[in-house]
Chain A
Amino acid sequence: MIIAQQKPVKDIAAMISECKKVLLVGCAGCVTVCLSGGEKETEVLASSLRIMRKMEDKPLETVTYTATRQCDPEYVAMIDNYTKDVDAIISLACGVGVQYLAERFTDKWVVPALDTKFIGGSTVHGNWEEKCGLCGECILHRTGGICPIIRCSKSILNGPCGGSQYGKCEVSKDVDCAWQLIYDRMKALGKLDKLMEFHPPKDWSKSRDGGPRKAIREDVMID
């Protein structure tokens, strides 16, 4: 899932300082799971902003709505009725959601309440880790299910660098050396020989090279 974290309330308040009525839109997707932009977080932020503005003697009216997803036009369209008389829309989605709202509500001031951090998962409740570098062509079958693109600080594809010490990365003692993990796992699986296979250089044109990417599947398109 996409991991995002809420910006400081003061920063969000500064973005809407001139507004009298705002719509806060939560997202029931990834940001609900990572506890940063779901229904509850949306209402807590609305309450925080109201209290803050009331203390400044500039009361703020808030409307809250949590979309099933902010990254699909049909769910964004369901927000239409809530936007009529608001001065701004605060999106508690990832950067994708903010852009979908800005694209649909062209006459509204749309601002982000979250900082989108990375693609990852949770280890324990409240702790998330980056796991995927979105490189566009997965090689996890060659690396024992451990991604060297994002988990190796240098994204090296042919083994550890000289900064690998006692299984840790030179970047921080809290960061495991991805290639040590890969080696250990392949060894445990009895597949070390797989690491000796030659592969052509990775095709980075499938990654960010060439600008924003598109994925098109005509088989699932509805005419």
Chain B
Amino acid sequence: MQYAPSVRIIEMPCSGTIDHRVLLQTFEDGADGVFVAGCMEGDCHFLKGNFRAKKRVRQVKAILDEIGFGGDRLDFFNLSAAQGQRFAEIVKTMTDRVMELGPNPLKLKNAKKEGGAA
């Protein structure tokens, strides 16, 4: 099982703790794409955490679309801890999508400002 080395995993106690601000901050900090992996539907230890996470991701996607950044860089997947192979597949899906979309536009602006390659 292999997946792209460009992925950074941030562990949360429950996907339901995901906050709009955290997701927006990741993009402000330069992430090209973010996906939230919540437990399988019906498997949430706190009953609704994964559903809430999914809803919040949908709201942040709408905000990103509204401001012209593009909500495609963010997504939500249901995934159990035993599905390593599925995790690798999702990483590939998101990596391919991000490759197609290109780098985070905010990062490009930073690079320009610092005199680096845009």
Mark A residues whose CB is within 8 Å of B: 8-10, 40, 43-44, 47-48, 50-52, 54-55, 57
Contacts and interface: CB of A to CB of B under 8 A. Distances in A.
B67 A48 contact: yes
A9 B20 contact: no
Interface residues of B, number: 17
Interface in B4-48: 19-21, 24-25, 27-28
Given A48-B63, A50-B28, A55 B69 contact: yes
Contacts of A50: 28
A55 B105 contact: yes
B106 A54 contact: yes
A55 B109 contact: yes
A196 B67 CA distance: 57
B20 A40 contact: yes
Contacts, number: 44
Chain B interface secondary structure, helix, strand, loop or mixed?
A: helix
A51 B21 contact: no
Contacts of B21: 40, 43-44, 47
A9 B63 contact: yes
Nearest to A44: B20
B27 A51 contact: yes
B68 interface: yes
A124 to B, nearest CB: 14
B45 to A, nearest CB: 22
A10 B68 CA distance: 10
A166 to B, nearest CB: 35
A43 B64 CA distance: 15
Given A54-B106, A54-B109, A57-B109, A47 B68 contact: no
Interface in B55-93: 63-64, 66-69
A47 B66 contact: no
Contacts of B64: 51
A16 B114 CA distance: 26
